[in-house]
């Protein structure tokens, strides 16, 4: 004789089975979502400046995030393209004017030759501290899977040729492509 009647209450065993089935279903849904997203955080950085001091932040952040296994894109536009240019990146300057962190008054910073002096001082400090160069950070970023993108509109505007960029740079990327990555990114930064 069956103990299941329309008025019977579920047993503890039935509740456990239903709970286990629900947990398995939720774990399956979570695994599907991880597969769909790739299980990786995404970060997009927009690099707009091509000075020595502004080349470091996007490359340091990008290479560090890639070391954590993140999907990272750095979209370089306007002066940010100088970072990707093999010749220009080796000669990036540090502007002393308008930089409140410089150890000199702004009036002195405006004197001829001060940018060159500030750049030499920073390059010396970088060398003394064993800090990675821009070229080294670009290499590390590319080797780590960071996608360094060059804006097509800016390339056209400033007469850049993709052959002038480091190997591994993705050139000719439009703003729409950058926006698509940004829309899916967990973190978006403008540098």
Residue 3 in any domain: the answer is no
What's 115's domain CATH number? 3.40.1260.10
Contact criterion met (CB below 8 Å) for 102 and 118: yes
Residue 91 in any domain: the answer is yes
Residue 179 in any domain: the answer is yes
Task: Assign 96 to helix, strand or coil.
Answer: coil
Residue 79 in any domain: the answer is yes
Give the pLDDT confidence of 90-120 residue by residue, as tens digits.
Answer: 999 987 776 667 666 666 767 787 888 888 9
pLDDT at residue 94 in the model: 86
Task: Assign 56 to helix, strand or coil.
Answer: helix
pLDDT at residue 141 in the model: 97
Residue 33 in any domain: the answer is no
Count the domains in the chain. Answer: 1
User: Among candidates 58, 64, 60, which has minimal Cα distance to 44?
Assistant: 58
State phi, psi for 69 to the nearest 5 degrees. Answer: 90, 15
pLDDT at residue 176 in the model: 93
Residue 16 in any domain: the answer is no
Residue 46: CB atoms within 10 A of its CB come to: 21
Task: Assign 1 to helix, strand or coil.
Answer: coil
Instruction: Compute the chain's Rg from CA coordinates.
Output: 26
Residue 82: CB atoms within 10 A of its CB come to: 23
pLDDT at residue 126 in the model: 92
pLDDT at residue 149 in the model: 97
pLDDT < 50 stretches in the chain: 1-2
pLDDT at residue 160 in the model: 95
Maximal CA-CA distance, the chain:
102
Say if residue 77 is exposed, middle or buried (CB neighbours under 10 Å; 0-12, 13-18, 19+): buried
Q: Which of the 8 DSSP states describes residue 111? A: S
State phi, psi for 132 to the nearest 5 degrees. Answer: -60, 145
Residue 2 in any domain: the answer is no
Give the pLDDT confidence of 5-15 residue by residue, as tens digits.
Answer: 555 566 777 77
Residue 80 in any domain: the answer is yes
User: Which residues form the domain of 115?
Assistant: 38-190
């Amino acid at each position: 004789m069956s103990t299941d009647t329309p008025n019977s209450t579920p047993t503890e065993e039935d509740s456990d089975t239903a709970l286990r089935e629900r947990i398995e279903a939720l774990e399956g849904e979570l695994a599907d979502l991880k597969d769909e997203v790739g299980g990786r955080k995404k970060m997009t950085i927009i690099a707009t400046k091509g000075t020595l001091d502004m080349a470091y932040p996007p490359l340091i952040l990008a290479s560090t995030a890639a070391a954590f296994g993140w999907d990272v894109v750095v979209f370089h536009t306007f002066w940010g393209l100088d970072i990707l240019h093999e010749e220009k990146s080796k000669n990036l300057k540090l502007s002393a004017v308008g930089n409140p962190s410089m150890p000199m008054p702004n009036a002195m910073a405006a004197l001829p030759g001060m940018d060159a002096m500030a750049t030499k001082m920073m390059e010396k400090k970088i060398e003394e501290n064993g800090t990675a160069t821009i070229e080294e950070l670009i290499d590390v970023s590319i080797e780590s899977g960071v996608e360094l993108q060059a804006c097509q509109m800016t390339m056209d505007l400033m007469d850049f040729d993709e052959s002038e960029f480091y190997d591994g740079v993705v050139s000719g990327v439009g703003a729409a492509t950058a926006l698509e990555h940004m829309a899916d990114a967990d973190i978006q930064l403008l540098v």
